[in-house]
Structure 1
Amino acid sequence: MNDIMIGFVLLLLLVAAQASINGDTIKRSDFPDGFLFGVSTSAYQIEGAYLEDGKSVNNWDAFSLSPSNIEDGGNGFVADDHYHRYLEDIETIQSLGVDAYRFSISWARILPRGRFGEVNPNGILFYNKILNDLLLRGITPFVTIYHFDFPQELQERYGSWLSPLMQEDYVHFAETCFKNFGDRVKHWITINEPNLFTQMAYKNGKYPPARCSPPFGNCSAGNSDVEPLIVVHNMLLAHGKAMKIYRRNYQQKQGGIVGIVVDCLMYEPLTDNDLDQEAANRGLAFYIGWVLDPLIFGDYPSEMRQYLGNQLPRFSSAESNFMKDGIDFIGVNHYTTAYAKDCINSTCSLTGNRAINGFVDTTRERDGIPIGEPTGIEVLRVVPRGMREMIEYLKKRYDNKPMFVTENGYSEPLAENENQNVLQDNKRVEYHKMYLSSLAQAISDGADVRGYFVWTLMDDFEWVHGYLPTFGLHYVDRETLNRIPKLSAKWYQDFLNPRYIREYIS
């Protein structure tokens, strides 16, 4: 069979596999009563005003001072200027008809010097205004305490997350947030994606502080095998200590719940081989169980203990006790699916991939839909069933702990961005339809999922990729910073408010 015929057969198989995920029929009424729909953002990616009103330089400000660190040479100094346009943005959020808005708090805006300085009243005022306006409009705030950005001083003083001192700084920051905002915030997220941040910052060296070692990267310092384990350990203990304080001093009075957000990349076996199935299971344990097992069961996954031995840090019995059952909900950031191949009992010869802990992940096309070739940013495959599979995995492994899908989104391939009307984002609309349909199936099968948040409200600063990716429901003109709704924004409005008939962008 030639390549064309193979591709045609795979396409037919894909269509058949997707028949049960008919995005065209998805409706808001397919979700339970009380299910929350929202949009997500993060502080550094949209706020700007990087040195205004008492905010200090944070780790991303310092990192992006070297334009070569960011693919388009950009930075978050102005970003989308949300700091000055927050009222306009909240009106936009309200116009979508969402129930909830997930945003994060800039650590350097609240505590410019961490616990070595005073609380910045201007920072408190800014987030108070956001919270009050959201609640006035009937929008539920979901607040992320730490979303990748922290005062640069903490890096320079003691190495930030590589040091246990960072646990105390984080707890001080978290309690400052509980004290000042907890009367209105009923949904807290302690840390966004410890697994992804650690991989990017301490294994691949692409995020600040850009630490790594060969063959993962060529950094000036770092150890890609050991440092990620130390960093996640400190993050988990920071979460656990903050959660202990919240439950003891705030939860009963304020009535909130606290979770953590995990980057939930789904792994499937590359082939039907049992060894590849085991590799996929290891991949899930090493990436997702790494964060969630300690916060639910009190220790790291047995798969990690087996392969990493003494390299993997240990919790004391006291730490294990307060870590166990240490979240009220799981935040699920799910975008795509990867395929795992066994590298323990098999030969791994996939170009550009390195066997890690006995498995290798690959973007080899099997039956996902490619969204284009990489052009500066990693390609995400559109595999809608991965949403259902991920939720089912979490449901089984963690006894159906309550979940919120805190991020799900799509960016056009860069090559396509250059050759089309960015407002006519049909592929994004189809992506959300298919992934929502897959999520609805998981819920109908009994998964306790309570909300879904689109990433993101508007095109923003996407970390090392700068302003190249376009995940937003709204286009942001980089010259004027005007927000312009895309087709996907109009679709989301109609999905959330089916009683209204709206005109799509022609």
Structure 2
Amino acid sequence: MYQTDFPKTFPQDFLWGGATAANQIEGAFDIDGKGLTTAEVVKKATDRKTFTMSSVTKDSIQAAIADPGVANYPKRRGIDFYHHYEEDIKLFSEMGFKAFRLSIAWARIFPTGLEETPNEKGLAFYDKVFATCKKYNIEPVVTISHYEMPLELTLKYNGWASREVIQHFTRYTKVLFERYRGIVKYWMTFNEINAASMGFGGTGAIDAELSEKEMLNLRYQALHHQFIASALAVKQLHELDSNAKIGCMLARMQTYPATPDPADVRAAQANDQFNLFFTDVQVRGQYPNFMNRFFKEHEITLDFAPEDTTILAEGKVDYLSFSYYMSTISSAKDTTDQALGNFALGQPNPYLETSDWGWQIDPIGLRIALNEMWDRYQVPLFIVENGLGALDELTSDGKIHDDYRINYLRKHIEQMKLAIGDGVELMGYTTWGPIDLISASTSEMSKRYGFIYVDQDDEGNGTLKRIRKDSFYWYQQVIASNGENL
């Protein structure tokens, strides 16, 4: 409809909040019937630049199984949200959260993934979490699979490399959708589904010892099985709970050409297309044509069942959620000068500052990403991860002055507001993570994102006391003013 005015503020029902993952906060990895997960056999990194999720082998898994402790596997301890959930959600409520994004640990519900009936103690825990959210009028936003699955599915099937896992996943989702009908309104299937192209962390499939050709084929076959499982879950939810919505989730990698050289522009376009391939399948319901060249050039042959075309077409998501942390530069020329990021590598941008971990800070890139995805898909968008990992310092008087985090978030929220004025339909914003948690990539505690400090170091020492940072009170004002008081 033609009009001369445009939105100048956030919608009244905007979902302000924060986002977490079960394997990074819950702890309690071996109680109340929970099984071991793939996340809990990934050993912590020895430095901040080593991502260990893609280097898992059969031998390293056996070593992890033989080690019952938490010292080498910090995701087993998390920040003990399992026993602190009431305190933590109350703190989220104090900030004014409208939404809390969390994930469910599949192995709490089906310890091995193979059971025919769920573990009632696992469900009872999430019953209590959702009841606490309701007490404080916080809408739970639930990720069904966030970088973890029951380890037994890796040992028996090599994770998502096998189509057999789909039936176990849909049994799990059916239990969730029936149990939490009318309780959970917003779901998403796989966290950062493009992580499947990076290996074990996203797929639960061991591929570190394969040839490059074999590795690529296995990863994209595993990804295809996730696409099918996601589409089937979408159809399940639509049939079981017509009032609920379900989305996909992408790690958005905004990229720019290194120069105006058309070859660099084409390199950036190709990288952008590849990033959006994952959401093309889930939002549009089919594989995009541009991937045919990629599959051909890399000799990738997918086992694509006759019914898969129909399944994908019938299982299109209701909204697109994504994480945004940084941008990169694309060049047609080979270069050894790279910037680290959220499992994305690219040339460093001389116009941008970087975080303590070398991630390039680009708020305007968020507005660009929002506009590009809105123009491409025309479905509601939801920013479900954005934040600054930093080395926070606890002062002698027990405070954390994190103006750098406030500045980071303020600049991104300003760009969100501009994007809404551009016509983008934006559902909400859940920062990563509202409380300090274990790092996904390195399993360290030092990389802190939260508005709430958790007294725990990289070795697990500390009281687990929760302390409000300066950013806690700032975000409280942001939410109370619906994004006007920044």
TM value normalised by structure 2: 0.84
Q: Which residue of 1 aligns with 2:361?
A: 382
Q: Which residue of 2 aligns with 1:104?
A: 103
1:321 Cα deviation from its structure 2 partner: 2.7
Q: Which residue of 2 aligns with 1:201?
A: 199
Matched, 1:241 2:235: no
Q: Which residue of 2 aligns with 1:4?
A: none
SS at match of 2:428: strand
* Contact residue 100 and residue 139 of structure 1 kept, 8 A: yes
Closer, same or farther in 2 for the Cα pair 1:453/1:380, shift >3 Å? Answer: same
Equivalences for residues 119-158 of structure 1 within 5 A: 119-158=118-157
Closer, same or farther in 2 for the Cα pair 1:287/1:223, shift >3 Å? Answer: farther
The CA distance in 1 between the partners of 2:350 and 2:211, in whole Å, is 27
Q: Which residue of 1 aligns with 2:58?
A: none
* Contact residue 261 and residue 330 of structure 1 kept, 8 A: yes
The CA distance in 1 between the partners of 2:479 and 2:23, in whole Å, is 28
Name the Cα RMSD after superposition.
2.9
Matched, 1:348 2:334: yes
> Residue type of the partner of 1:460?
L
Bigger mean CA deviation after superposition, 73-82 or 159-168: 73-82
> Residue type of the partner of 2:475?
Y
Equivalences for residues 81-100 of structure 1 within 5 A: 81-100=80-99
The CA distance in 2 between the partners of 1:137 and 1:63, in whole Å, is 35
Bigger mean CA deviation after superposition, 112-121 or 79-88: 112-121
Structure 1: give runs of 5+ residues left out of the alignment. 1-27, 217-221, 354-359
Closer, same or farther in 2 for the Cα pair 1:307/1:464, shift >3 Å? Answer: closer
TM value normalised by structure 1: 0.81
* Contact residue 299 and residue 315 of structure 1 kept, 8 A: no
Matched, 1:211 2:207: yes
Equivalences for residues 44-443 of structure 1 within 5 A: 44-64=23-43, 73-196=72-195, 198-202=196-200, 211-212=207-208, 223-248=214-239, 250-252=240-242, 255-289=243-277, 291-309=278-296, 311=300, 313=302, 315=304, 318-324=307-313, 326-342=316-332, 347-351=333-337, 361-372=345-356, 374=357, 379-398=358-377, 400-412=378-390, 414=391, 423-443=400-420
SS at match of 1:114: coil
Closer, same or farther in 2 for the Cα pair 1:206/1:469, shift >3 Å? Answer: farther
The CA distance in 1 between the partners of 2:394 and 2:95, in whole Å, is 27
SS at match of 1:87: helix
1:203-247 per-residue CA deviation (whole Å, 9 max, x = no partner) reads: xx899655336998xxxxx94432221121111011011112222
> Residue type of the partner of 1:321?
T
The CA distance in 1 between the partners of 2:432 and 2:72, in whole Å, is 23
Matched, 1:490 2:473: yes
The CA distance in 1 between the partners of 2:46 and 2:38, in whole Å, is 14
1:297-350 per-residue CA deviation (whole Å, 9 max, x = no partner) reads: 3322222212322615375563223312610000111111011112xxxx4243
1:104-159 per-residue CA deviation (whole Å, 9 max, x = no partner) reads: 10111111121335311111111011111211211111111111111111111111
* Contact residue 269 and residue 280 of structure 1 kept, 8 A: yes
Closer, same or farther in 2 for the Cα pair 1:156/1:492, shift >3 Å? Answer: same
SS at match of 2:27: coil
Number of residue pairs matched by the alignment: 443
Identity of aligned residues (%): 26
1:152-200 per-residue CA deviation (whole Å, 9 max, x = no partner) reads: 111111111111111111111111100111221111111111112x244
* Contact residue 162 and residue 225 of structure 2 kept, 8 A: yes
Q: Which residue of 2 aligns with 1:13?
A: none
Q: Which residue of 2 aligns with 1:463?
A: 440
The CA distance in 2 between the partners of 1:63 and 1:90, in whole Å, is 28
